[in-house]
């Protein structure tokens, strides 16, 4: 339906002129969509700009790594006729480049970041141990420590997400994870040195976890609310 612009009555779209006032009515096209004016969509250009800058930095660093690795291989081979010291240097540089790749945010999943960095550490430590001609400390020491660190990291992040942990509880679970990781590392170091006593290790682990648990209970139920809020504002918890 259309309306007469002069008298305002409803008219059919093909009526010309207006049957009441004889005013000429322009033809109305019902198929045209009504133009709706909207506010321009707000967009923050900073993340895209930061991403472009990081991409350029990463490409530049990648080129430097490639040049450095090539030069060290060339110099080592020219001086010694084979690859000796350059293997250690280059595998360390490549491992650092791999960690930098995750640090630049190209992988968004925290699980993939933890597992990826763990794999890089395993490759690095395996290469450093294997370059000596035999594997002496990788399997009894490096492998369980790196795998344990990755598992504890994944478990910590899973607990934080599953329980929707916030504020002081994040710090509490973090300290528990650090204590467990420290005792895990200590267990394999002492076993590698031939000084392992499982019962003593369990007792020491429990004694180290106990203060953290007691502090968490006090913060949860005993600390005054004003003190909690003050600390939370101070450390942005």
Q: What is the pLDDT along the chain (237 residues), one digit of tens a residue?
A: 667 777 777 777 665 677 777 777 666 555 544 455 555 666 777 788 888 999 999 999 999 999 999 999 999 999 999 999 999 999 999 999 999 999 998 998 999 999 999 999 999 999 999 998 888 999 999 999 999 999 999 999 998 888 876 766 777 788 888 888 888 888 888 888 876 677 777 787 778 778 877 877 777 778 788 877 777 777 665
CA 77, CA 184: separation in Å to the nearest integer? Answer: 41
Taking the mean position of all CA atoms in its chain, how far away is CA 202? 33
CA 111, CA 160: separation in Å to the nearest integer? Answer: 13
Domain layout of the chain by residue ranges: 1-32, 49-106
Count of CB atoms situated within 10 Å of the CB of 30: 7
Count of CB atoms situated within 10 Å of the CB of 136: 12
SS3 content of the chain, % helix, strand, coil (to 5): 70, 0, 30
């Amino acid at each position: 339906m259309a309306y007469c612009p002069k008298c305002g009555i409803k008219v059919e779209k093909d009526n010309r002129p207006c049957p009441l006032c004889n005013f000429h009515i322009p033809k109305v096209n019902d198929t045209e969509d009504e133009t709706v004016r909207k506010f321009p969509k707000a967009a923050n250009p900073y993340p895209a700009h930061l991403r472009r800058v990081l991409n350029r930095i990463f490409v530049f660093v990648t080129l430097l790594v490639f040049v450095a690795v090539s030069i060290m291989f060339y110099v080592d081979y020219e001086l010694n006729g084979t690859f000796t010291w350059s293997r250690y240097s280059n595998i360390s540089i490549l491992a650092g480049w791999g960690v930098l790749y995750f640090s630049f945010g190209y992988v968004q999943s925290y699980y993939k970041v933890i597992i990826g960095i763990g794999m890089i550490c395993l490759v690095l430590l395996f290469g450093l141990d294997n370059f000596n001609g035999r594997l002496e400390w990788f399997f009894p020491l490096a492998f369980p420590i790196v795998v344990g660190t990755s598992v504890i990291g994944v478990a910590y992040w899973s607990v934080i997400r599953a329980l929707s942990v916030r504020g002081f509880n994040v710090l509490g679970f973090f300290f528990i994870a650090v204590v467990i990781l420290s005792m895990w590392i200590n267990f394999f170091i002492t076993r590698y040195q031939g000084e392992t006593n499982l019962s003593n290790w369990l007792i020491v682990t429990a004694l180290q976890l106990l203060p953290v648990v007691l502090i968490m209970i006090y913060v949860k139920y005993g600390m005054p609310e004003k003190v909690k809020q003050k600390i939370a504002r101070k450390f942005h918890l």
